Structure 1
Amino acid sequence: MKKILFSPIIMAFFTFFMLIMIPNSWIERLIPKQRVSQAATELNPLMFQGKYIQSKMLQDHRYLPIYGSSELSRLDEFHPSNYFKENKAGFTPFLIGRGGSISLIHFLNFAEHTDELKGKKLVFILSPQWFQPQGADEPHFVPNYSMLQGYDLAFNHKIDPKVKKMAMRRILHFAPLKDDRMLATLYKAENSNNPWDKGKAALVRPFAYAYRSALGKKDLYYALFGASPRKREINPVVRHKSWAQLRHEANQMGQRESTNNPFLIINSKYNKIKKRVPSMRNYNRGVSYGHSVEYYDFQLVLDLLKESGAKPLFISIPVNGRWYDYTGFPKSGRTAYYKRIKHQIEAEGYPVADFSNHEYDPYFLKDTMHVGWKGWVYVDKAIKDFYNER
């Protein structure tokens, strides 16, 4: 009986040991060549939180990475992934981000790939909703945090120590770091002159390094076995159309799909919030996106991109003016954000596709905050113009 009981345990341990001991180079040789192209629209958090697939993508001139958050999952005919599939422009969009991918999450990701970002064009879509007064919160940070990227930051000696220390101080506020005593010890020591803190870090560093290696191997196994490409129907409606034609067709599509509310929100989304709408009237009086901890986190992103030599285009998305007026969110609190974020980016010498004057443009957004039919047409044009610039 004992032999039968312990055999599966021994076998499981042996299998785990063998998986860990297999050289990384062997695993990499088994990863299919099409794995990167499959991941371009996969929107899989394991890829966002990993390293291998993104590294291969950034090394390939055929891909233009587009970083953002929940708007990236609003796939439709006019979405960049479809538009540039139907209208060849010399690149394939590669989507990186999901709901809650705020500045600190992107910082950790960029820190992982500083070498590969040099000279690389990329697109970064900003969301006003990130800029709450308190900045990033636990519900958004925790599910998007990458343990691999967190550990790699601890061993990253390539980025500016000042930027690294500031980022570590911010990240230490969140539960994944507080609960990870080994990594927290390394982060705290980075910002401390106390010999005791430095001594503890020296003791845990070999164990942290080994754990980091295991996390890297896990990422390779994900790249090998974790493919889950989205099934996308070909939507040739955008093929070989002028921008004016595309805006017209996007407008018509928005009209057809947003008929049951005065906010021009897509019907399916409005049906989900319909019962709560009366309670939202004037709910956001006195609120502003003009003052937020997020601006300081976003500056870390800007500093890192500058240091790495990346060539980003930032896209400033508006909110739904009709909805925000209804909830009592002051126009001044939105304008303060649009102006501040544009100034912050341009101060670093980077271009901004600023669409803040489209708050009331019908069907620019699909709901209260996410890019919609017509909005994607404007974004597509901005991306194409940016990519073609020398």
Structure 2
Amino acid sequence: MSRNKRLIRILGPVLCSAVLVAVFFFAPFRINLTSEKTLKEASTSMAPNVLKGNVIKNKAVASGKYVPFFGSSELSRFSAFHPSVLSEKYQRNYRPFLLGEAGTQSLTQAMVIHSMGDAIANKKAVFILSPQWFVKKGVPNDSFGAHYSQLQTYQWLANLTELTSGDQYLAQRLTKFPVVQKDKVLMETLANLQAGQLPQRSQRDYFIMNLRFLNREDELFSQIGMVSREPIVEKDMKQLPATYNFNELDQLAGKIAAKAINNNKFEISNGFYRQRIKPVLPKLAHSQKKWDYRFSPEYGDFQAALEQLAEKNVDVLFVIPPVNKRWSDYTGLSQDMLQQVARKLKYQLQEQGFTNIADFSTCSNERYFMADTIHLGWRGWLAVDRQVDEFMKQPASKKLAYQIDDRFYQTDWQQQNPLVLPQF
């Protein structure tokens, strides 16, 4: 047998396999591996692959059975009074779909909302705003990088046919992050957008070609690493009475919480205090006296998320949680400053027609409201859930009166002193 024939016999199957794999990954047809069971498990998983992908979250929200809850680490503070538990226990006609984890902030959520397209259009959503997002330099590189989605970014650019101020703002912001700077074609395209130009034909073709692979990857592998909290939901449901009564549940929340926070004076959950606080407690005294959330690029990033919500006519309930006053008194974090942050956020929302706001920022001293230093706990989640349920019972409006104002993208707004703003 000649040498060439031997090479063909050896390499032929390998080459054929490579071609078949390439065809499979780049072919335009879709694969549906997402069952109802998968959607339910994903709704509480807060898995990065679900957040950064499209297939699972979009199918869930498009079904009308799931309501997106945009937020960050507070979504993971489960108890019997978490909205995911209460909606399941009392058989409501919706279930929360939790979108976020520690480090997901407005810029990530803006891209996530954009990626949902028609799936979220004309539907309802809940958006939890954490004051601690609004730090001086905005979202840290590592936090944004951990949740950056090449799929969602390429999808945005491949389908972009008309530039808005929001698109140009996103382009400018994305170029600041190392995870984006590594992508030469992407950086060139974002530079075009900042200059007021749409992606060039060659750039658009590049994104479309890569999207075929990224979409297939999402279809096949988005469930990897997805750990559902459904067993936790089932366990927590057993603590609840058969019939919903807010006052009775509020009392029960206090009783359960009292046993869970009895090893410290800050009303922080025992495990969190023992593992995260107690070992470094002396160092944290007065450590947050200079922290200030009033001036931040995050206000511009939040505007990008608002523009996406308005563009898709999403009816949104915004939740502003408090910070544990017992803890802030110890660290020196200013509650007055936090009230100014809430004032600035409410102004930005209401000036543009976002009027559904549940402001709990004044509940910082209520007992058993918080699970730890900054995250909602037993009575806190119950109070939020009541607002969510009332919001979900309201009839949806066909066309919401949003009026997006580009001035909220400007540096002047990011550095605006809330004290000069009118109260809402």
Unpaired segments ≥5 residues, structure 2: 1-5, 396-424
Cα distance in structure 2, aligned partners of 1:376 and 1:336: 23
Q: Is 1:279 the counterpart of 2:283 in the alignment?
A: yes
Checking the alignment, whether the CA contact within 8 Å between 2:71 and 2:127 is kept in structure 1 is yes
Cα distance in structure 2, aligned partners of 1:15 and 1:318: 55
Q: Is 1:383 the counterpart of 2:388 in the alignment?
A: yes
* Residue aligning to 2:211: 212
User: How far apart are 1:50 and its partner, in Å?
Assistant: 0.7
Q: Is 1:357 the counterpart of 2:362 in the alignment?
A: yes
Q: Secondary structure at the match of 1:99?
A: coil
TM-score, normalisation: structure 1? 0.91
User: How far apart are 1:32 and its partner, in Å?
Assistant: 3.0
What letter matches 2:52 in structure 1? Q
Checking the alignment, whether the CA contact within 8 Å between 2:154 and 2:207 is kept in structure 1 is yes
What letter matches 2:360 in structure 1? F
Aligned residues: 383
User: How far apart are 1:95 and its partner, in Å?
Assistant: 1.1
Q: Secondary structure at the match of 2:142?
A: helix
What letter matches 2:362 in structure 1? N
> Which of 134, 146, 161 is residue 143 of structure 1 equivalent to?
146
What letter matches 2:205 in structure 1? P
What letter matches 1:322 in structure 2? R
Q: Is 1:329 the counterpart of 2:338 in the alignment?
A: no
Checking the alignment, whether the CA contact within 8 Å between 1:35 and 1:227 is kept in structure 2 is no
Cα distance in structure 1, aligned partners of 2:155 and 2:394: 34
Checking the alignment, whether the CA contact within 8 Å between 1:318 and 1:355 is kept in structure 2 is yes
TM-score, normalisation: structure 2? 0.84
What letter matches 1:379 in structure 2? V
> Which of 361, 368, 377 is residue 373 of structure 2 equivalent to?
368
> Which of 302, 312, 337 is residue 308 of structure 1 equivalent to?
312
Q: Secondary structure at the match of 1:254?
A: helix
User: How far apart are 1:85 and its partner, in Å?
Assistant: 0.3
Cα distance in structure 2, aligned partners of 1:114 and 1:277: 46
Greater displacement, 174-183 / 99-108: 174-183
* Residue aligning to 2:405: none
* Residue aligning to 1:177: 180
After TM superposition, the structure 1 = structure 2 runs for residues 135-284 of structure 1, keeping only pairs within 5 Å, are: 135-157=138-160, 161-192=164-195, 201-223=200-222, 228-230=227-229, 231-232=231-232, 233-234=234-235, 235-238=237-240, 239-272=242-275, 273-284=277-288
Deviations, residues 289-328 of structure 1 (Å, cap 9, x unaligned): 1111111110111122112111000011111111112111
Cα distance in structure 1, aligned partners of 2:249 and 2:352: 33
CA RMSD, 1 decimal: 2.4
Unpaired segments ≥5 residues, structure 1: none
What letter matches 1:77 in structure 2? A
* Residue aligning to 1:39: 42
> Which of 268, 291, 294 is residue 295 of structure 2 equivalent to?
291
Q: Secondary structure at the match of 1:362?
A: coil
> Which of 110, 116, 126 is residue 123 of structure 1 equivalent to?
126
